[in-house]
Amino acid sequence: MYNEAFMRRAIDISAQAIDTPGTEPFGAVIVKDGAIVGEGINRSLINHDPTSHGETEAIRDACRNLETVDLRGCELYSSCEPCALCVAAMNIAGIAAMYYAADMGQAGKAIGDLPESARFPVDVTLLTHECGHVVGARKMPSEQHLSSEAAEILSQWAKLARARM
């Protein structure tokens, strides 16, 4: 259930980018049972990591703090509507609900005002397209190779994982 205090915390985290070099104004918090268990701000520039978005950083922090990769039952609050990469990470982690402040249009308007040299070349429409289609229907060229060898390793690993259960 939405809690304004958690949204305000996500926005406060995003505001840190105003004074913190190497960060961008996208903050997020993960909440479990009414308490913040993870926080994150976009550190893509300082970490030289295009996946270091506020949401992914909050997921990483929550997973470390809870010592799990299973965030079922957790909620995510973000200062901005998450991109497809972050939505995928939320789904993989099992986030139960997501609340956001600014939408993609508001973010695009603000970022669009930056000089080209200060903008990372992200095409949100293309990102959404690529993530929403099977490999063969994507615009990025791709080829499959050595599938049987890789599938055999997956099978061996799964067999060992089942034996440990």
CA distance 139 to 135: 9
8 A C-beta contact, residue 31 and residue 3: yes
Q: 32: which 2 tokens? A: 């479990």
Q: What DSSP designation does 35 have?
A: E
Residues 55, 57, 75, 81: which is the catalytic one? 55
Q: Euclidean distance between the first and final Cα of the chain, in Å? A: 34
- Does residue 84 sit in helix, strand or coil? helix
CA distance 140 to 88: 18
Pure H helices in the chain: 4-15, 44-47, 54-66, 84-93, 104-112, 124-131, 147-164
**Is 55 among the catalytic positions?**
yes
Catalytic residues: 55
